[in-house]
């Protein structure tokens, strides 16, 4: 089963039995249960807000090598400490009726009850790698969502302007811990001692 990410032609196509279903008329009407069933049947990343689904673009190679580089660094840090780091596709419930699929999700304690099988109920830190199709999704919309979810730290790795922005939750909204550029190191307030070279992240191979 595949889905067409074109907003103007949102469709579900299953070649094996000739299914060709227009999904656009259903926007705003999807239930959480239908969303979960849909995402269980496709390899596309699909996010959900109050009955509306958004099919995200397939990640590029550059996106994936940056993701893999950050995942390996976080794994080296967190595994000995009993933490957990996972990567998309994995659904994160922002609140009932809203789901995102962050590129990387971190819990400092793998036994945290938010670590559920079907979807996580929260995280301590999430990372997004900005997609060129619609950068505001990661830079403007998701900070609001992850703040709403109460996630203490949000990293925005942006190859488009060669920065890593680290946001930390203060009250109900994020403030900048730092905007880190080439030649510098991005640091975490949440994960003691964790920092990464911006150059090494952006130039990952």
Could you tell me if 47 and 53 are in contact, meaning their C-beta atoms sit under 8 angstroms apart?
A: yes
**Which of the four pLDDT bands, split at 50, 70 and 90, describes residue 155?**
very high
Q: What are phi and psi of 175, to 5 degrees?
A: -125, 160
Strand 163-170 versus strand 195-197 pairing type: unpaired
In order of their start, the domains of the chain are 2-55 (no CATH), 61-202 (3.90.1570.10)
Residues written for the chain = 205
Neighbours of 131 (CB within 10 A): 18
Cα–Cα nearest to 47, from 124, 146, 161: 146
Task: Tell me how far apart the alpha carbons of residues 187 and 167 are, in angstroms, rounded to a whole number.
Answer: 11
Tens-digit pLDDT profile for residues 91-143: 999 999 999 999 999 999 999 999 999 999 999 999 999 999 999 999 999 99
Tens-digit pLDDT profile for residues 170-187: 999 999 999 999 999 999
């Amino acid at each position: 089963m595949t889905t067409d990410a074109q907003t103007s032609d949102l469709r579900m196509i299953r070649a094996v039995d000739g299914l060709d279903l227009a999904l656009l008329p259903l926007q705003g009407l999807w239930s959480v249960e239908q969303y979960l069933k849909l995402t269980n049947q496709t390899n596309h990343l699909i996010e959900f807000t109050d009955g509306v689904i958004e099919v995200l673009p397939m990640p590029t190679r550059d996106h994936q090598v940056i993701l893999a580089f950050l995942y390996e660094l976080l794994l080296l840090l967190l595994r000995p400490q009993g933490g957990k780091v996972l990567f998309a596709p994995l659904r994160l419930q922002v609140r009932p009726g809203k789901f995102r699929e962050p590129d990387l999700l971190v819990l400092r304690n793998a036994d945290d009850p938010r670590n559920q099988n079907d979807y996580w109920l929260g995280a301590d830190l999430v990372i997004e790698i900005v997609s060129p199709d619609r950068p505001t999704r990661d830079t403007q919309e998701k900070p609001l969502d992850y703040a709403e979810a109460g996630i203490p730290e949000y990293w925005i790795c942006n190859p488009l302007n060669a920065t890593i922005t680290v946001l930390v939750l203060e009250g109900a909204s994020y403030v900048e811990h730092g905007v880190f550029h080439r030649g510098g190191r991005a640091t975490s307030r949440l994960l003691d001692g964790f920092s990464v070279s911006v150059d090494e992240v952006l130039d990952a191979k």
